[in-house]
Amino acid sequence: MKLTTLTKPLLVACLLGLNAIAHAADPNAEMVQGEVKNVLADQGKVTLKHGLIKSMKMPPMTMNYKVKDPAMLKDLQKGDHVEFQLDSDMVIEDIHKK
């Protein structure tokens, strides 16, 4: 899709708005079980094979997730079993090994 000069600023404004809503780890947020398939440190992302995420209505799958802080990736490696929490933008706000 080609973005017009009108939709571009709107899209940027929308993304900024979503960022403003992102907040600290919610103690009530769903803990999701997963397995690290890859660590994409240069992209600030991690590839996770995850179980059902009820709150997002997402079935089990393998996908890339962005982490809130790239430092969260430093102790993770392929094969690690983890638990993680997502914020409303589907960014990992908390992840740790089980």
Residues lying near Cu ion in the complex (CB under 5 A)? 58, 61, 63
Residue 63 or 72: the one with the smaller Cβ distance to Cu ion is 63
Smallest distance from Cu ion to CB 55, Å: 12
**How distant, in Å, are the alpha carbons of 9, 11, 37 from that of 2?**
13, 13, 33
Smallest distance from Cu ion to CB 40, Å: 15
Smallest distance from Cu ion to CB 8, Å: 28
Residue least distant from Cu ion (Cβ): 63
Contacts of 50 (CB under 8 A, 6+ apart): 32, 33, 34, 35, 58, 60, 61, 62, 63, 84
